[in-house]
Structure 1
Amino acid sequence: MTTKLTPREQKAKKFKDDLHAQGLTINDWAAENDYPVAEVYKVLSAERKGLYGRAHEIAVAVGLKPTPSK
Structure 2
Amino acid sequence: MAKTVEQLKAEFATEGKTFVSWANERGYDPTYVSRILNGSIQANYGKAHKIAVELGLKQENSDD
Decide: shared fold, TM above 0.5.
Answer: yes
RMSD (CA atoms): 2.0
Higher-Rg member (1/2): 1
Give me the TM-score of the superposition, normalised by structure 1.
Answer: 0.76
Calculate percent identity across the aligned residue pairs.
33
Q: Partners in 2 of 1:33 and 1:12 — Cα distance? A: 19
**Structure 2 spans left out of the alignment, 5+ residues:** none
Counterpart for residue 60 of structure 2: 67
Question: Greater RCO between the two (CA within 8 Å, min separation 6)?
Answer: 2
Q: Partners in 1 of 2:13 and 2:25 — Cα distance? A: 15
Counterpart for residue 37 of structure 1: 30
- Number of residue pairs matched? 61
Moved over 4 A (4+): none
